[in-house]
Amino acid sequence: MPEMTLVQALRDALAVEMARDDRVVVFGEDVGRRGGVFTVTEGLQERFGEERVYDTPLDENGILGMAAGMALMGLRPVAEIQFVDFLWPGFDVVISDIAKERFRSGGQYGVPLVIRSPYGGGVKGGLYHSQSPEAIFAHIPGLKVVIPATPSEAKGLLISAIRDEDPVVFLEPKKIYFGIKEEVPEGEYTIPLGQARVVQEGSDVTIVSYGALLHEVLRANETLKQEGISAEILDLRTILPFDGPTLLESVAKTGRIVIVVEAPRILSVASELAAFVAERAVDYLDGPIVRVTGWDTPFPYALEPHYLPNVRRIVHGVRRALGLVP
């Protein structure tokens, strides 16, 4: 199997689906000739032509509206928003049209499209290029929200998203676009949406994360192992629908849970997961539900290392869950 970065795996997934299904079209700002600002779509226009891979005006409302119309007419559009922070001018289309069409039509029409976008911190992009708004999308009935953590996961999840009959917001953690390489299967394969991955089995505490922060959790785990702490690590993969059964099974085994996300704490994905566990697994808990998150401020530029959860904060969170520190 070839080794790929996250960017290369995403590009491979798009190429696989475009070759398999001529209804798949890819468009957005600079995705054609330039191949996107992060080069995810590099070479696709040359391979599949300007009618299937093309640049759009700098108009997120137009990009998303066009994607909705294409999907309603039978195509499988993959619309790139250059940074998720730029999506808001088109947010009404997402809320009022894309997410609701299946419900509004009584199931007669679907909007099978993918909104791809880089998200999150880690590249010193400041407050206009580093937001983690996954909880906002997850709050909208009708959308699915996916965040991959590795190249092989990204390819399988993106193929599944393109084939899904409902709209999918596919957020790509740009911090690990080029920093991680692994073997990625060739050809087509899928990873089911809504199914978490048990990265490591353990007995003392469950740690749940996704995206770039999964790798920070794995680094923290090296410290935990030295302290004799056995952590079960879950990669959520799909924010909505999330895999409740796997989460509950893990918490029932370990009796403790730490949830790690880089978004602000208030009304975050961590908040929902904490509520889910508290409602359904409180009898299994032997310690507090601990959240390790970003801070409730706009994303800083100079203070980015202090904003993002790191090894020190994750280890402290696990110690709290185990009752080792206040």
pLDDT, residue 294, reads: 97
Q: Which residue type sits at 164? A: D
Residue 216 has pLDDT above 90, yes or no: yes
Query: Which is nearest to 95 in space by CA: 158, 137, 37?
Result: 137
- Compute the distance between CA of residue 311 and CA of residue 317 in angstroms, rounded to an integer: 10
Active-site choice (129, 139, 215, 316): 129
Class of domain 197-321: alpha beta
| Mean confidence (pLDDT) of the chain | 97
Cα–Cα dist 209/136, whole Å = 17
Whether the domain at 3-183 and the domain at 197-321 fall into the same CATH topology: yes
The predicted pLDDT at position 258 comes to 98
Residue range 277-300: mean pLDDT, rounded: 96
pLDDT band at 220 (very low <50, low <70, confident <90, very high): very high
Residue-level pLDDT at 302: 86
What is the pLDDT, as a whole number, of residue 107?
92
CATH superfamily of 3-183: Thiamin diphosphate (ThDP)-binding fold, Pyr/PP domains (3.40.50.970)
Contact (Cβ atoms closer than 8 angstroms) between residue 133 and residue 240: no
Q: pLDDT tens-digit profile of 121-177?
A: 999 899 899 999 999 999 999 999 999 999 999 999 999 999 999 999 999 999 999
Contact 110, 101 (CB under 8 A): yes
Query: Distance between CA 90 and CA 104 in Å, rounded?
Result: 20
154: left (phi > 0), else alpha (psi -120 to 50), else beta? alpha
pLDDT tens per residue across span 44-99: 999 999 999 999 999 999 999 999 999 999 999 999 999 999 999 999 999 999 99
| Percent of residues, the chain, with pLDDT higher than 90 | 96
CA 85, CA 23: separation in Å to the nearest integer? 28
User: Residue type for 170, please?
Assistant: F
CB atoms within 10 A of CB 227: 11
- Domain ranges for the chain, please list them: 3-183, 197-321
pLDDT at 301 over 90: no
Instruction: Tell me, yes or no, if 215 is annotated catalytic.
Output: no
* Among 151, 88, 75, CA closest to 117: 88
Task: Flag whether the pTM goes above 0.95.
Answer: yes
Q: What is the arrangement of strands in the sheet containing 144-146, beginning at the earlier edge strand?
A: 53-55, 24-28, 76-80, 114-119, 168-173, 144-146, 238-240
Structure tokens at 88: 């808001």
